[in-house]
Amino acid sequence: MLLIIDIGNTNITLGVFDNNEIVHFWRLSTEITRTEDEYGVFIKNLLRETNLQDKITAAVISSVVVQLTERIETALRKYLGINSLIISHKIKTNVTLKTDDISQIGADRIANAEAAYGLYSTPAIVVDFGTATTFDIVNSNNEFIGGIITAGMKIQAESLSVKTSKLPKLNIEIPKSVIGRNTIDAMLSGIVLGHAAMIDGLITECEKELGQKAVIIATGGYSSIISKYLKRKFDYINPHLTLIGAKMLYELNR
């Protein structure tokens, strides 16, 4: 079995694949201060609880947190006795990386592009709702040509609360109406509906530059909330897209 670990700024997602099926899935908070031993024991215990401790033969790490990449790689080798493929611009991909500086492309974006190519058709636009909301764009020549990075909805909500004296903290949820009749509803409308309007507009502009319609794929925690308010609906919502792309990269590089 294959263990995939996607290290994000807010969460660490772990998935175990048995052939092409995800058989277990966990989401942890990203804690930059945890040591390799803490991560090693934590991951080992998760696998022990599901009787998978001795069934994992290899791992793939997709990380945007540089400080944790080597730490978790070492933890897996030390506590599980397995080696890891680290996703970066240096590994083999089916999608050609064609940006100004490919060393700056995040591992999650490489995995998303690989999954878009492998599962769907191109040109494709992957909208990934994480700490940041990112657009990963693969053209009809199967080239990852870049994309867009903007503040995610959670960052927007936290910024409103921190940077203003009277606005409260809130959880992202479906707004009751466009016109908020109280502070919370007004904030939710601005964050959620504003985000949806932004995505609609950016997809339109991206397709103008591509010169054709693209397959629109969404992934990440807030994709189902946003999808209700889009004029241009997502063609696919795949919550495990990054993990699946990471598995495809493992198969290509094994």
Q: What whole-number distance in Å separates Cα of residue 250 and Cα of residue 176? A: 44
108 a catalytic residue: yes
Distances in whole angstroms, Cα of residue 85 to Cα of each of 16, 44, 113, 227, 251? 15, 18, 17, 33, 10
Single-letter amino acid, residue 85:
L
Catalytic residue selected from 6, 108, 128, 136? 108
Single-letter amino acid, residue 172:
I
In sequence order, the 6+-apart residues with CB closer than 8 A to the CB of 196 are: 226, 229, 230
Q: What whole-number distance in Å separates Cα of residue 154 and Cα of residue 171? A: 8
Q: What is the DSSP letter of 50?
A: T
- Which H or E element spans position 112? helix 107-119
Active-site residue set: 108
